[in-house]
Structure 1
Amino acid sequence: MATAVSSAAPIAPAPVSAAARPPGYYVRQRLWQNRPAVAGLAFIALCTLIALLGYWVLPDNSPNANHGFVQIQKERPGLRVLLLRQPLPDSARFGVASDNLLTTWLRGREPAVQETPIGGYQFVGDSIILKPLGEHSAEAGRLRRLALSTVVGHPGSRAELQRLVRDEHLINRFYVLGTDKAGRDELSRLLLGTRISLGIGLVAVLISVVLGMAVGAVAGYFGGWVDSVLLGVMTVVWSIPGIMLVIAISLALDSKGVWVSFVAVGLTMWVDVARVVRGQMLSLRSATFVEAGRVLGLPTARLIARHLLPNMRGPLIVLATSNFAAAILLEAGLSFLGLGVQPPAPSWGLMVKEGYDLLGTEAGLWLTLLPGTAISLLVLSFNLLGNGLRDAYDPKTPVMG
């Protein structure tokens, strides 16, 4: 009996299903579909770029953007000023650093020339007659006469000196957001303030995440009396106001500098992270993969660091963004009270305080409103991003497309 031989068609490879994609793909998809979160992320990215560029993009790149003129203090936005540039005296030239890109990025540059706001000028022979600017000037109402060779820094013919003064020593400067109470460029100080706000947020988040993960992981994994002791420490720290902790840390370190503020704010925020990590650790320590790791003899430190903590990545990222916003607000409040970043550093909280002291005057409104708006926008951006990340890490959130 002949047997029939059936020829089967070749089996085509099964297409890769959407379920084969890694979880991170769906997290990113959910995040990009959340328009408020994307808008917050874009604003944070813009502020980060400004903070990284720092002094390179500031109209006033002097250290702390602290180059001001008493003649133009508390002027409204849109101010245009004519400045006369003169060589620095010999005694002041030794303090001017060389034109180094790295030094400029890190600390700014000391002015290489002496600038004076003037209300007008007129050439008379070998001299220039200057009209003082502003009622705050010590020479208000009096004309000032300077030799052209003094302005230029070297002798020359009258026509040549007048041309040099007109082309190289007289400049127009535009103050987009006006000036503060010391006659400093408000825009430069606002832009430089992003470096302090983002810097203190970053340092605070790093300290809080590292310390909180360590304490929470130990408490949740070992349990027993270790958990009780560490939970008691967390409860005590939790009950102390953050401002009081920062004051205590500043007094203990006997300093109120920028880096002390960074560290102090970070040491007040680790409890949130520790409580979340402890709760997650309590629920995961009895999981099957953890028991398998113990049976295989994996060291406890490796089991925690390589297998347990990575499973908490989502909640920790969401908590880090909220702590970032909280750190910015805390630093602003401390600087407003005079306990944080000290003058002349351009902290947004300190700038709000300077504007608040001038409320009731014409300049008080925008000097308070501008840094206050910057703080609000940055904190709102982190909150929107945190909400978006929370939804993105929730598997119940649908993915469109």
Structure 2
Amino acid sequence: MKNSTSLTGIALQKFKRNFWGVFSFCFLLGCVLLAIFAYALAPDNSRNANQMHLSIHSKNPGFTVKMLTIPNEVEEQNPLSVFFFGKENVDTEIPVSEFSMTSEGIEIIEYTPDGSGGLQKEYPLSLFPKAAAVNQIADTYISEKKFLLGTDKYGRDLLSRMLIGIRISLAIGFVAVFISLVIGVTMGAIAGYYGGKVDTAIMWLINVTWSIPTLLLVIAITLALGKGFWQVFIAVGLTMWVEVARVVRGQVMGVKQMQYVTAARALGFNDFRIIVKHILPNSMAPVIIISAANFAGAILIESGLSFLGIGAQPPIPSWGGIIKDHYAYIILGKPFLALIPGLAIMSLVTAFMLIGNALRDAMDVRG
């Protein structure tokens, strides 16, 4: 196969030779697939993986328990909605240590953390519609449930919460970077192309925004917009555009002096076409690299906001929120409850930074 001689082809070939760049790209692709199929893969596919079992809270990874499911009637749910947003689960799940069949139904002893005998309860056959006889209840409605990453302090499956929480981290990155690109590229291109008073006004706005600490600005915008899922995305995006705008402005100021831009003006092309068709395509390489870093920064900011309690609100699972709920467990003998989401955040951020480094090396024309 003949090697491409275009700048894009050369950059792509250099990127392919960067082991850590390719590895990080494959890792992120896997994370995106996990986010898309989160509810299909999660052991607890209830909405927000919010099925609580307080009697089995804070259990170690690999914990196994018998679970009795008592079904409740619910309207049939759209399979597509269940796939993307989880099941509206109204079933009652009860961890049991022992059970036995009676003439009218099933008798159970509820699970207790210390192993002592729990409450003894009896449930009639009429509660189990799929069981035609008493001896079918155990086969149909009692299952052995394994929690691969253990349970959180509310007895929820930590693996399911982690899988669904990856959606928050990736979504905040995509939305924040998109908003920062739209605003930053627009403002930077206008400032760099027109110069003069327009450039002065936009640079004044950039410098004022730049001077405010990012986390403080995000908190102020979040409090102004209100706590919530989308409010955090918008707040993070509105604080990340200044760096993009400064880089685009510098690139445009250099590119607009090129001969092909002068030729475009001589041909009578309007300013919008010159900027969009001729200047920006030749100015975007540094912006792509910054976007990778901004993606990582957005994930860290969202995690910090969730840790402070003003990010994604419960019961929506967020890696930062999981750390907030369990950071005290580091000294209480259950460090995995905070370390697992912490390592996940670290891995995702590191992958984006490695991709940014690989893109920087690939697009370096001096290499």
The TM-score with structure 2 as length reference comes to: 0.95
CA contact (8 A) 1:152 1:161 kept: no
1:307 aligns with 2:278: yes
Distance 1:227 1:154, change over 3 A: closer
Aligned residues: 367
Q: How far apart, CA to CA, are the structure 2 residues paired with 1:295 and 1:216?
A: 24
Q: Which residue of 344, 350, 366 corresponds with 1:380? A: 350
Q: Which residue of 9, 16, 23 corresponds with 2:7? A: 23
3-state SS of the aligned residue for 2:12?
helix
1:85 aligns with 2:69: yes
1:278 aligns with 2:249: yes
Distance 1:304 1:155, change over 3 A: closer
Alignment of 1:152-167 (within 5 A): 152-153=128-129, 160-162=133-135, 164-167=136-139
CA offset at residue 87 of structure 1?
A: 2.5
CA contact (8 A) 1:97 1:110 kept: no
Q: Which residue of 27, 31, 39 corresponds with 1:43? A: 27
Which residue is equivalent to 1:176? Answer: 148
Distance 1:83 1:370, change over 3 A: same
Q: How far apart, CA to CA, are the structure 1 residues paired with 2:253 and 2:170?
A: 33
3-state SS of the aligned residue for 1:358?
helix
Alignment of 1:310-389 (within 5 A): 310-363=281-334, 365-389=335-359
Counterpart amino acid of 2:184?
Answer: G
User: Could you list the per-position Cα deviations for residues 144-188 of structure 1 after superposition, in whole angstroms to 9, with x for gaps in the alignment?
Assistant: 2233x13424885xxx321x1121011111100000011100001
Counterpart amino acid of 1:98?
Answer: E
Alignment of 1:290-305 (within 5 A): 290-305=261-276
CA contact (8 A) 2:66 2:97 kept: yes
CA contact (8 A) 1:73 1:180 kept: yes
Which residue is equivalent to 2:236? Answer: 265
User: Could you list the per-position Cα deviations for residues 81-111 of structure 1 after superposition, in whole angstroms to 9, with x for gaps in the alignment?
Assistant: 10112222xxxx3xx4523222113321122
CA offset at residue 136 of structure 1?
A: 8.5
* % same residue: 41
Distance 1:381 1:152, change over 3 A: same
Q: Which residue of 227, 230, 235 corresponds with 1:256? A: 227
- Structure showing greater radius of gyration is 1
1:128 aligns with 2:98: no
Counterpart amino acid of 1:152?
Answer: F
CA contact (8 A) 2:58 2:150 kept: yes
Q: How far apart, CA to CA, are the structure 1 residues paired with 2:17 and 2:323?
A: 35
Distance 1:97 1:358, change over 3 A: farther
3-state SS of the aligned residue for 1:125?
coil
CA contact (8 A) 1:55 1:106 kept: yes
3-state SS of the aligned residue for 2:98?
strand
CA contact (8 A) 2:112 2:118 kept: no
Q: How far apart, CA to CA, are the structure 2 residues paired with 1:62 and 1:311?
A: 47
3-state SS of the aligned residue for 2:118?
coil
Q: Which residue of 119, 123, 138 corresponds with 1:146? A: 123
Q: How far apart, CA to CA, are the structure 1 residues paired with 2:46 and 2:229?
A: 18
Runs of 4+ in 1 over 4 A off after TM superposition: none
1:117 aligns with 2:89: no
Q: How far apart, CA to CA, are the structure 2 residues paired with 1:30 and 1:324?
A: 22
CA contact (8 A) 2:162 2:341 kept: yes
Counterpart amino acid of 2:47?
Answer: P
CA contact (8 A) 1:70 1:136 kept: no
- Structure 1: give runs of 5+ residues left out of the alignment: 1-15
Q: How far apart, CA to CA, are the structure 2 residues paired with 1:226 and 1:154?
A: 72
Q: How far apart, CA to CA, are the structure 1 residues paired with 2:32 and 2:77?
A: 24
The TM-score with structure 1 as length reference comes to: 0.87
Q: How far apart, CA to CA, are the structure 2 residues paired with 1:50 and 1:282?
A: 42
Distance 1:22 1:63, change over 3 A: same
3-state SS of the aligned residue for 2:97?
strand
Q: How far apart, CA to CA, are the structure 2 residues paired with 1:215 and 1:71?
A: 55
CA offset at residue 360 of structure 1?
A: 2.2
Q: How far apart, CA to CA, are the structure 2 residues paired with 1:372 and 1:140?
A: 36
Which residue is equivalent to 1:395? Answer: 365
